[in-house]
Structure formats: structure tokens, C-alpha cells
Structure 1
């Protein structure tokens, strides 16, 4: 037999492997480019640090709303064009108004999960810009990625996508949401919050909430081999290192709604002008987004099945 024909099976195998790898790389690159592009956009100078009540914050809202509309996400009847307005203080001028951006995808069951990330940051202090790439353009970009996935893959739970305002002012957007929710609070079974998920040099992403809600531990796993998802930062004995009330999940916890909060430990660029797109860990961030999505999908599948089996259960 000719040597070419002897080698033909091997050549075919190598060609197929090469093609599959190429397709996988292209597919991954496309996913990465969108979520990274969103972080880069939201933390650009055009958005002026997204401080509550500023033109930069308004641009961020329009950006998020446009994406929600393009994905055909629904707005609650009690809100106007996805916006939930709330007062920041007793003063009535526009600089003392906050605006959450809220959308939802109806699920197969009426119970809901709130996926959240705050879009506000520190804005400008004098001439110094605080871009807030990790804090929290990273969380908002992840939220948009999850919305895109579930817009194409109908969830079991009704999924609420909440881009909260005024987190940096004391979780005021999240507190306004739970004080005046668009559906009965007892229908909300879980809050999954993302705040600072793009900047860690050792591949460590924390999932906190299982100290109070240990039943959630079984859902926290990921196929991202180089991503380390750790539990912790939720024990009250840790003092300042207890993150339970340090981001928007605190408002849900106060209402006895279980939560998972995904975030990284503080880094040198936290609340600094150097929290830029260039300083996030891009590979880690994409893996973190993929890992959190895996966990959401697992919860949506397994927890919804449990609720359907026993409709009398209030929690899990």
C-alpha cells in the first residue's frame, strides 16, 4: 500500500482534531470578546466613573437598557422602561434620585431568583477619574452575559436581572428593591450577587453565603480547572472580613432571603484610579464568569426540581 494511504487515517484524525480545536478557540474568543468589551466600555472615560446622579451613570443605564431590549427581556409593569426610581435623601432634586435597572425572563415556575450587580462607582474626585473596572463593571458585564444566555435558554426559575444603583452609598438601590419589590418577596428564593469578580492574581473567587445558608454548598462547583472557588468571608466573627453586608446581597439577607455573593479579596486597585480595564486579570475574569454561569445553571435545574416536588416548602 502507498505510504500516503497508510498515513491517511492519522491525517484525517489530526485534521479533525485541528478543526475542532479551531472551532472551540473561535467560539471561546467570541464569548470572551463580548464580556471583556462590556467591561472595557463601562469603565471607559465616556462613562465618567458612573457615580450615582451623574451623566456617566445615565449613560451606563442607557447602555444596560439597550442590551435588555435587544435581548427581549421584559420590564415589570410597576416600572417604566426597566427603571425603578428611588430617593437617596429627603431632598427632591434629580441629584438625590437613584435608578435601578430591572428586567426579567419568565420561567417555568413562578418562584424567582434575582441575579444582581451594581453599576454605580465613585465617579470623579476633582480631576481624578475612578473608572471602576473591577468594581463593578465586571459584575454588570457578567449580568449581561447571563441575560444573553438565558434569553436563548429558557430558565426554570423566573430570573430577575437587577443592575442596582447607589451601592457605593450604602446599598441604597438594593434596599429600595426589597422595600418595594415588583413581585411578592416570598417568591424570591435566592439572590446571586456579583461585585468585583475580575481582579485576582491567584485565580481565587470567593462564594460567600454558605455560613448562613449551608444548603447552598452542594451547588457550588465548576468545571473551570484553573478557577478556585472558595467558600468564606461570611462568618460574623471575621469582623471587617465578613462580606455579608458589604454589597447588595446584604439587603436580601436582611429580609431572610438566601444569597450567594461572588467576589475577590481587596487588591491594590480597589477604590483607586488604577481600577482600569488594563489592570483586571482578563483570563481569570472570563473563567469566573463561566464558572458562575455553571453554578446558576445547576441551581436553576436542581433547586427548581426540588421546589416542584414539594410546593409546600417555603425555602429549599
Structure 2
């Protein structure tokens, strides 16, 4: 039955591919533009990037709001962050535990006259999250799905920690964290999933195919060995760690190491847009399988 549901979803995805490519391109181009200046965090004012994401969620019909918080940056200095939170309610007769989809929108900002576009890190995750929200908005959902574009991830996962602290963990089935989804020529995504998420991650493999492969790990150490990144703790490397800390199962999707990571070369034109659209279709299929299923 799981495979039949995913196959039906593919018909929906195929008809929406042209639109999705166009919108993904538009969103990525905007978020990496000079006007967004590298999406730096810390200002008391809500920046252009947060406002753009808020507008895009609202246009898709989601209940959307800003969640502002403060965090320490440097010696005795307070920074201000602004998460963007959007929700699709359960619209079925029987509702199960919620899903939380996260992707940080902040990046390194600017340094003097140059800025860091952060196309892969993590405009790619944000535009895929926006695309997923659009795809799921018209579907039957047995779960509430909350999307959170977090701020101040680069400075210490502050936005994710703040948001996770507002949740009741027993009411959340899974966090799906999207961070750096612009796949390399090897066409691979790496998925780090907590052991508590195993009953959900069984639906990942059927949602993928030979276009984009998903390699699943339940150990951060095993993932580090596979990627030859002994100094990277993949459990703590992104926002999924904040959800793990409060006891919520997680599945983190990413491409691993990007040679342009945290450099000005992480640019719009380095992202293969057709592949990013495929990534969005695959992850959408996975999330849809969890949300349309009548199983808890």
C-alpha cells in the first residue's frame, strides 16, 4: 500500500514539474540576490528574506507568523532572530501526531563590499520547503504539518532551539530537517535519522529512485566515516539537533560536504535546478506518504 500511494503522488508531481522548476528558480534567485545580502542574522528588524518567506507561505494558503527571539552573540551582546512558522492543519477525520519540517534561512551575511549568497547553504533547503508546502496544501492530511524557516542557525542553532522549546514532544511524530540539498554530480542525498524515527524512515527508499539516491544512516559516526569527515559531528551539524535534544525523532536530509560551503562561491549558478526539483519531488513523496497514511 505504501508504494501505491507514492506512485499516485508521482502523477501529481509530474504535472506540477514545470511550475515547480519555475518557482524554485525564482525563489532561489531572490534569496541569493544582493538585495538579501547573504541573509545575515542578529538585527532587531525582520529582514527581507524572512519577509519573502512569510509571503510565499501565505500565498500558498498556510497560517503563517513570525516568531522572534533573542540570543547571545559575542561578549555580552544580544542578537535578535526571527523564525517564520507556517502550518497546514490536519484535514482528515482521523488525525495523528504532527510533522515538523525545518530549514534555516540565515547565512553569513556580508563582509565589507562582498556578500555570501548561501545558495546551497541553505537557500536550497528553504526553496524546497516552500515547494513542499505548495504541493501538500491541496492534499488530504492525517497530520498537522508545521514548516519552520529558522534564523540564527549559523550562530548556534538558536532559532531551532527556541522553536523546539515551544513544542510538546509527545505530539510530534517527526522532524524533517532540510539543509544543503543542491546535489553533486553523484546524485546522492545523505539522510541521518534517529533510531526512534525508524518506523517513518522506511518510507524514504520507496520515495526515491535512480535519479537521486538516498543513503540512510542511523549513526552520525557511520555517516562521518562514509563521507570521510572525521571532524564533523553530523548529529549537531544542523537544526535537527535541537529537536533531538527535546526528544523528537528526526530525519536530516543533506548532500554532505560542498567545496563552496561558507565561501562567496556558494552561488545561484552553481545549483543544478532540474536536480533540485527532483530532490523536492522525492522528499515531497516521502512526506506525503507519512501525511496521507491513516497509520499513526
Instruction: Give, in whole Å, the separation in 1 of the partners of 2:295 and 2:231.
Output: 35
Q: Mapping of 1:197-216 within 5 angstroms?
A: 197-211=181-195, 213-216=197-200
1:300 Cα deviation (Å)?
1.6
Q: Which residue among 1, 5, 18 is the counterpart of 1:29?
A: 18
1:186 aligns with 2:175: no
CA-based RMSD of the aligned residues comes to: 2.5
Secondary structure at the residue paired with 2:241?
helix
CA contact (8 A) 1:117 1:195 kept: yes
Q: Deviations over 1:125-158 (max 9, x none)?
A: 2222100011111111111111111222232100
Instruction: Give, in whole Å, the separation in 2 of the partners of 1:285 and 1:250.
Output: 24
CA contact (8 A) 2:183 2:189 kept: no
1:115 Cα deviation (Å)?
0.7
CA 1:55/1:289 → structure 2, altered by over 3 Å: closer, same or farther? farther
The number of aligned residues is 273
Aligned to 1:155: 141
Instruction: Give, in whole Å, the separation in 2 of the partners of 1:187 and 1:126.
Output: 45
Q: Which residue among 253, 256, 264 is the counterpart of 1:262?
A: 253
1:226 Cα deviation (Å)?
1.3
Relative contact order, CA 8 A, sep 6+: which one is greater?
A: 2
Runs of 4+ in 1 over 6 A off after TM superposition: none
Unaligned runs of at least 5 residues, structure 1: 1-23, 76-81, 308-316
Aligned to 1:96: 79
Q: Deviations over 1:77-116 (max 9, x none)?
A: xxxxx0111111299x997111111010110316211011
Instruction: Give, in whole Å, the separation in 1 of the partners of 2:26 and 2:44.
Output: 21
Structure index of larger Rg: 1
Greater strand share, structure number: 2
Unaligned runs of at least 5 residues, structure 2: 1-12, 225-229
Aligned to 2:10: none
Q: Which residue among 208, 215, 232 is the counterpart of 1:230?
A: 215
1:25 Cα deviation (Å)?
8.3
Instruction: Give, in whole Å, the separation in 2 of the partners of 1:146 and 1:118.
Output: 15
Instruction: Give, in whole Å, the separation in 2 of the partners of 1:56 and 1:36.
Output: 27
Alignment TM-score, normalising by the size of structure 1: 0.79
